[in-house]
Amino acid sequence: MNYNIIKDLFIRQFDRNPAEISIFLTYGFITLENQVVMPIKVSNIFNRSNLIQIEDENSAILGELYLIRENKYEVNSMPETLYKIYLCENESELNIGQHQDYQFKYDYLLIDVERAEEYFTNYKQNSFLWGDFCHIENEISHGLDFNTGLTKLTTINSARIDSQIRSIHIELISESNCFHRFLKYYHLLEMHFDMHTAKKISAYFSKGGKEKEISSLLRDYNREDLNRLESLIENFVNPLTLQNFLKEIFNHESHAKNIFYKFGKESNPLKSYKDFEKLKRGGMFSENITQNVRGQSTHNKFLTKISAYWIYRVRSSIAHRKLGEYVMDDKDRKFIINFAEPLIKAIYRDFYLSFNNSDNT
């Protein structure tokens, strides 16, 4: 669906200034006029004639529930909010904007885009606990190449997979949105870092007299996410297994330039874009190719640091919609599918096998 059609219909319906209306994706959901529009499934406890407001812990308005499923409205008489939902619900339909009467398929949650990251990070996954509703994920067919070049799969012999991890991976297989998949893999790594730290502290407690070691672990635990991710890769991942995944970045040079340099951070282990170009001319991440650009780092340390930095910057570009960050949308899907997702999956697989085959003490 061309989102400009949705924007044009909204502008014509309410005689709005085109410069004031924006439309883009936030975590895979259409955001129109700075409101993220999300279909939901709601418990039967609600009085469906009510407009339900959602407040955060500080009593500030976070969003609103519109209980409109199976309600029928005259399209040309809809208020702005309902017409906005109507356009989003029919974004892939040829008859959009041509209905006289319309019956909604879902209930909806609308939140301001400024609070989207907070909502998706802190509240979305447990909405069934505090809100008696759950999200209907937005599954859009984007017609992109989903790794059709893959011709071989290699088995992994690992029996130590608990029910929680199995359930998460079933969700990952069913997830059609590549941005959501990437973030779920990232969150899996975060979760396992926490588990590793907890096991270490438990072991020290059982031994007794290990206050300094526990303090050191807690200090490491409170480091920034990039440091924690780098520590995880360094301790549990063989960086040499990542070389073939890293070199795929050379097929996405414009993304590398924007995400890692134009919107990059001081923590970039490959400081100069000229150094990136040197690696690109070499075409790979072998030790002899990287030796002129990695400074004092060993080859393995360099692979660890560049993998952590690139994964972290991609994560920030997906999760953060703010000034100073590269903002991802549909044009970036192929970059995620062909580079970022295979890299984070390789890190996670190596980590999971190493972590679960060690005593973690």
213-268 tens-digit pLDDT: 777 766 665 556 788 888 889 888 999 999 999 999 999 999 999 999 998 888 89
pLDDT above 70 (res 356): no
pLDDT above 90 (res 336): yes
Pick from 187, 217, 188, 183: nearest CA to 201: 217
- Say which residues have a Cβ less than 8 Å from residue 330's Cβ, sequence separation at least 6: 25, 142
pLDDT above 70 (res 193): no
- pLDDT averaged over the chain? 83
Neighbours of 350 (CB within 10 A): 18
Instruction: State residue 125's pLDDT score.
Output: 80
CB 112 within 8 A of CB 63: yes
- Residue 139's pLDDT band (boundaries 50, 70, 90)? very low
- Residue 199's pLDDT band (boundaries 50, 70, 90)? low
- Residue 121's pLDDT band (boundaries 50, 70, 90)? confident
Neighbours of 68 (CB within 10 A): 21
| Residue with tokens 């996670």, as numbered in its chain | 348
- Each residue's pLDDT tens digit, 50-107: 888 998 888 888 899 999 999 999 999 999 999 999 999 988 776 787 889 999 999 9
Instruction: State residue 279's pLDDT score.
Output: 93
Taking CA atoms, 142 is separated from 146, 333, 338, in Å, by: 10, 9, 15
Instruction: State residue 252's pLDDT score.
Output: 95
